[in-house]
């Protein structure tokens, strides 16, 4: 295919995908059960976590009913590092808040306007802000976990790496300096290596529209970056390299559908974490597509969420 036609096809596909998820999020928010107040949940919107910062440097804080202190979850949305926001991921925040979590639902800078390391820089800043500010919203700063799906799973894993490895990046050093390792990481259907997206085609035959989306992840997020290395874009490769962390890695829950083209990343991540002695609870859901758990009305999604709650209880993430 000619380069211009390929570029136009990818741009059109990206617009369709972005529009679909935004429309679905907006439609879902109209359901009566989507109202946080129906569950006793209050939301403080558009709290700035970087100062000075841009329009992306905002979080919504979802507080469950009760007096607290509550276990706290930093949620990092997916979207291939280039689309979506905290607004499109309200359903994730509501799911955790309904279960008694104080949720910090964060937006971050998006590619290609803001290539690597902008997203992980912001994710680290949101984590540091959460450690410092959870208590004023009723959260317990000693019980902070991190979650995300797809690109957000990559960011959640990289935040955990920053908390456990002494690294040179200023944003990673700030996370390490908090002294706070996440109690748990929920990294759903993650893309844990952004480089070499050709590997997905080597693993299985993919429809062009899926291959285009995967190529966009790498080209948009890494294409204009001047970073010295991509360790925190490829947390999987860092862990597979075998460097010894300064602090023990937290327990990871790694759910993925078997029809997800990113499936093998989860298998590799589970093996890499186990090699470090970390708990890596990888769950494979038969027939599940990418981000299947977001379709919360389906039986498979409900099973995944039930498994998530069980993991968080058993991992010690809830223990005071």
Mean pLDDT of 186-201: 95
pLDDT digits (tens, 9 = 90+) for 241-256: 999 999 999 999 999 9
Per-residue model confidence (pLDDT) at position 9: 47
Q: Which residues contact 98 (CB under 8 A, 6 or more apart)?
A: 39, 41, 64
Q: Would you say residue 41 has pLDDT above 60?
A: yes
Q: Would you say residue 102 has pLDDT above 90?
A: yes
pLDDT digits (tens, 9 = 90+) for 113-144: 999 999 999 999 999 999 999 999 999 999 99
Mean pLDDT of 79-85: 95
Q: Which residues contact 145 (CB under 8 A, 6 or more apart)?
A: 71, 72, 73, 74, 182, 183, 184, 185, 186, 250, 312, 317
Superfamily name with CATH number, domain 35-315: Alpha/Beta hydrolase fold, catalytic domain (3.40.50.1820)
The tokens describing 83, both together, are: 């689309």
| Residues 234/124/257/211 CA torsion (nearest 10 deg) | -50
Q: Would you say residue 162 has pLDDT above 50?
A: yes
Query: Could you give the CA distance from residue 2 to residue 136 in angstroms, rounded to a whole number?
Result: 55
Mean pLDDT of 144-166: 98
**What confidence tier does 223 reach under pLDDT thresholds 50, 70, 90?**
confident
Per-residue model confidence (pLDDT) at position 5: 45
């Amino acid at each position: 295919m000619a380069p211009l036609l390929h570029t136009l096809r990818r741009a059109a596909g990206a617009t369709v995908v972005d529009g679909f998820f935004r429309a679905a999020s907006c439609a879902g928010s109209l359901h009566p059960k989507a109202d946080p107040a129906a569950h006793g949940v209050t939301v403080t919107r558009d709290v700035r976590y970087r100062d000075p910062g841009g329009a992306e440097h905002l979080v919504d804080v979802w507080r469950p009913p009760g007096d607290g202190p509550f276990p706290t979850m930093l949620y990092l949305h997916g979207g291939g590092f280039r689309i979506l926001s905290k607004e499109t991921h309200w359903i994730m925040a509501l799911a955790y808040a309904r279960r008694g979590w104080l949720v910090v639902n964060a937006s971050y800078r998006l590619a290609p306007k803001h290539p690597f390391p902008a997203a992980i820089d912001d994710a680290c800043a949101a984590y540091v802000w959460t450690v410092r500010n959870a208590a004023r919203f009723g959260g317990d700063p000693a019980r902070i976990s991190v979650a995300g799906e797809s690109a957000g799973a990559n960011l959640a894993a990289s935040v955990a790496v920053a908390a456990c490895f002494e690294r040179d990046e200023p944003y990673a050093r700030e996370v390490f300096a908090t002294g706070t390792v996440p109690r748990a990481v929920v990294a759903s259907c993650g893309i844990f290596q952004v480089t070499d997206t050709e590997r997905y085609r080597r693993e299985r035959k993919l429809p062009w529209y899926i291959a285009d989306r995967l190529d966009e992840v790498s080209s948009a997020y890494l294409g204009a970056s001047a970073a010295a290395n991509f360790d925190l874009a490829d947390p999987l490769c860092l862990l597979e390299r075998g460097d010894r962390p300064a602090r023990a890695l937290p327990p990871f829950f790694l759910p993925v559908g078997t029809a997800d083209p990113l499936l093998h990343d989860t298998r590799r991540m589970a093996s890499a974490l186990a090699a470090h002695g970390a708990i890596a609870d990888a769950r494979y859901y038969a027939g599940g597509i990418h981000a299947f758990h977001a379709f919360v009305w389906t039986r498979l999604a409900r099973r995944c969420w039930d498994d998530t709650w069980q993991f968080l209880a058993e991992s010690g993430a809830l223990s005071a």
